Structure 1
Amino acid sequence: MSNSLAGIVTLIYTLVVLVLLYMTYAMSGKLAPRRKEPSKDNLYSCGEEPTPFAVPRTFTLTYFKYILIFSLFDVVPILVILSVSLIHPLSIMEYLLVSLYILVSAMAAIIIVR
């Protein structure tokens, strides 16, 4: 298989995966429950009701572990790709795929944080 054909096949597979990812994200938005239950915001401690004099929550770190996992699985491959590009010069198609990967990673980071 020639390099140009392999690049086209890779691009087609990448586009198919991106379309499937977008469809999954769109369907999860449609299938998610719309109304928010008030019990979701309450603190839970072994089935006990919170006391009225308890200190209210002001700061939570609920997304911190997701950001750490995202950093581990998305920043490390970018660093590996960029370090490999110093050893072996990349073709135009590979630069496009790296740029697309960085764009998808940035969009995922925005979705996680918001």
Structure 2
Amino acid sequence: MEEVKKVVCTKKASELIGDLKQKHGPLMFHQSGGCCDGSSPMCYQADEVLIGEQDILLGYIEECPFYIGKAQYGYWMHTQLIIDVVEGRGGMFSLEGPEGVRFLTRSRVFTENEKKTL
């Protein structure tokens, strides 16, 4: 059976991540809980944000760790997060902002078979 991933990204997001890695080096993501930038996935340089006990590592997209806060995970634990890219300005703290695009989280509910493998 194929491995079920809790977070994946689209081809467009993959390409943007590659561009951002070229400019900024190693990256990491954190799914925002809704404070300053809504619920956008935030992209940072790898050592720019301190990860704490309340952060959960969901997985990796393009070899970049992707974290979510424990409380936020409680709402989304039954879904696969799909990181995409759309036109427009997003989070002022996220690295893709100057590119004129923003990362966006889409989701889908895991199937019953997928839930069993998780």
Q: Is this a same-fold pair by TM over 0.5?
A: no
Q: TM-score, normalised by structure 1?
A: 0.25
In proportion to residue count, which structure has more helix?
1
Q: TM-score, normalised by structure 2?
A: 0.24
Structure with the bigger RCO (C-alpha within 8 Å, sep 6+) is 1
